[in-house]
Amino acid sequence: MQNFTNELPKAIEQSNEDDDALQSFFRPGISPDDVAPIFPLKRAQPLLQAFTALFHGGFNNVMLRLLVLRELAADVDTPSLTRADINAKLGYIDPDRLETILTRLRSNNLLAWDAAQSVYRITPTARNVLAALSSLLQAEHQAEQQGDEAEMSYMLTQVAGAQAVGGVSVEQLHHLLGRLIELTEEFSDAIASGSEFQLRTAQQKWHTACDWVEKGSQIIHAITNDSRADSATHRAAQAIGRAQSALLNMQGMFSRALNQIERQRVHLGQSGLSTTDIKTWLLQYADLASLADDALAYPMTPLFITPSEMIDVAESELLSNRQSAVANILPTGENAPEIANEDSDALLELDHWLDRLTNIEHLQADKPMPLQDLLLPSSFAIASYRASLLPLLGDVNESALQGATAALARLPLEFNSKDKMQRVSDPHVCAISVATLTALSKKA
C-alpha cells in the first residue's frame, strides 16, 4: 500500500507532462480533447506504447526485440519460462544485450514477471501484437510473389474476420474502399494513355481484381444485412458496392480501347512486322545502346567542307539512299512471338451472347422481351458484361467495322431502357434497370 501511495503522485505527474507535451503540437486555443480522432488513440495508449517499445530506435534493435519476443512466444508447451530457459533458448545473444531487451519488454507490459514463482510469462497484449505482425509479414511475403492480389486478399481477410467476430469498423471498410478507388483510377489512366502495353498490363491486373470482387461481394452482402451495423457502416458498404460495379464495368472500356489500337496498328510493308512487334523486340534489351556495338568497323573521320557542299551531299543521300538506310537499321524479320489470348473467356462469352441475341426474333417475335429474361440467370460479372454490350445495338460506327461486336451492332434489334430500377429474384443480382429488347423486323 505504501508503494502504491508513493507511485500514484509520480503517475499523475507523468500524465500531466504527457498532456503538456501533446498540447505543444496544436495551435493556441485548441485542446487535444476537442479533436475527436485523438480519443480512440489515447484510449489505446497501452497498446500503442507496446508498439513503441518494440519499434523505437534503430532497425537492428527493433529486429532483436522482435526476435526475442517471437522466440519466447513460440514455446507453447509451457505458459511460463524461467531465466535459465530463456538463456538456453537465446544463448546466441550477448547476455548484457538480452538483459536490456528483457527489461524493456517487461517494463512495457509485453513480458510479465511472476516474482512468487520467478518465471516470465507472455502477456495477452504481446500475443495480440505478434498475431498482427505475423499477418502483415505473411501478406508482405505473398505480395512479393503475387503482387496486388495478396494485398486485396489481406484487406478482405481483415474485413471478413472482423465481421465474423462481432462487427467490422468503418475505418476498415474505408481502407478497402480507398484501394478499390485507386485501382479504378489506375485502370482509367491506362485506358486514357492509349498504350497497348499499359492496357494489357492493366487488363491482366483487372482480371485479378475481379476475382476478389466476387469474394468481396459476399462479405459486403453480409454487412448490409447485419442488423448490428450502424448507418455509417452501411453507407461505407454501399460505397464499396458502387466502387466494385464501376470496376467491373471497365471490361467494355478495355475492349473498345484495344479494338481502337488494333485498327490503328501500323504494319511495315509486306513483312508482317508491326510497330508492336518492334517495340516488343526492343523491350528485350536492357541496354538499347548495346545494339550499336560493332556497327561501325572504323572510327568516323570528320570532314571539313563548305555549307553548300554539305547541302548537296545531304540532299543526294536523302533521296537516293533512304531505302538502303532503312534496310540497314531495321532488324531482320522474325516470327512474332505467340501471345496467349488474354481475352479468351471474354470472347467465348461474347460469342455465346451474340448467338443468343441472334435467335431473339424467333423466340420473341410478337412482344418485347424484358431485360432480366436475357441477362439472368448468370453471375454478376457476366450480367454486367452482357449489359455493357447492349448499347452497341444499332451503332452506325460500330456496325461498319468487322468482328463480333460489329456483328452485334448490325442485329435487327432495338434496346429500350427507362430511368428506374426493379427488383429481381436472383442470387447474384438484387435489382436491374427496367428495359426491353425488341426485334425490329417483327415490330408493329
For the chain, the domains span 34-145, 147-260, 344-442
Give me the DSSP letters along 261-305. Answer: HHHT--B-TTS--BHHHHHHHHHT-S-GGGGGTT--SS-------
Task: For residues 387 and 369, give the distance between their C-alpha atoms in angstroms, rounded to a whole number.
Answer: 14
What's residue 266's pLDDT?
Answer: 65
Cβ(212)–Cβ(146) under 8 Å?
no
Q: Could you tell me which of 86, 100, 90 has the C-alpha nearest to residue 53?
A: 100
Three state DSSP letters for 41-98: HHHCHHHHHHHHHHHCCCHHHHHHHHHHHHHHHHCCCCCEECHHHHHHHCCCCCHHHH
> Pairing between strand 119-122 and 80-81?
antiparallel
- State the pLDDT at residue 277: 74
Burial classification of residue 165, based on how many CB atoms lie within 10 Å of its CB (0-12 exposed, 13-18 middle, 19 or more buried): exposed
Task: State the amino acid at position 263 in one-letter form.
Answer: R
Residue with cell 502495353: 197
Instruction: Annotate 420-439 with b (16+ C-beta within 10 A) or e (fewer).
Output: eeeebebebbeebeebbbbb
Q: Which contacts qualify for 180-188: CB closer than 8 Å, 24 or more apart? A: 180/240, 180/243, 180/244, 180/247, 181/243, 183/148, 183/209, 183/247, 184/243, 184/246, 184/247, 184/250, 187/247, 187/250, 187/254, 188/250
- Max distance between CA atoms of the chain, in angstroms, equals 107
Query: Which residue matches cell numbers 429474384?
Result: 425
Mean pLDDT, 10 residues at a time, the chain of 444 residues: 43 55 83 81 82 87 88 80 86 89 88 86 86 76 57 70 69 80 85 81 80 75 76 82 82 80 67 71 77 66 69 74 57 64 64 76 64 78 79 76 78 78 80 79 48
46 and 109 in contact (C-beta within 8 Å)? yes
Answer yes or no: are the C-beta atoms of 217 and 248 closer than 8 Å. Answer: no
CA distance 46 to 10: 17
The CA–CA distances, whole Å, from 228 to 163, 164, 223, 237, 288 equal: 10, 12, 9, 14, 61
Of the CA atoms within 13 Å of residue 223, those in its CB half-sphere come to: 29
Q: Which of 135, 134, 123 is closest to 72 using CA atoms?
A: 123
Backbone angles phi, psi at 37, to 5 degrees: -65, -15
Spatial separation of the C-alpha atoms in residues 213 and 240, rounded to whole Å: 10
Residue 337: predicted pLDDT: 63
Q: What is the pLDDT of residue 299?
A: 64
Q: Does domain 34-145 have CATH number 1.10.10.10?
A: yes
> How many C-beta atoms lie closer than 10 Å to residue 391's C-beta?
13
Alpha-carbon distances, residue 238 vs 155, 246, 363 (angstroms): 17, 13, 37
Q: What is the pLDDT of residue 179?
A: 81
Burial of 66 per CB tally in 10 Å (0-12, 13-18, 19+):
middle
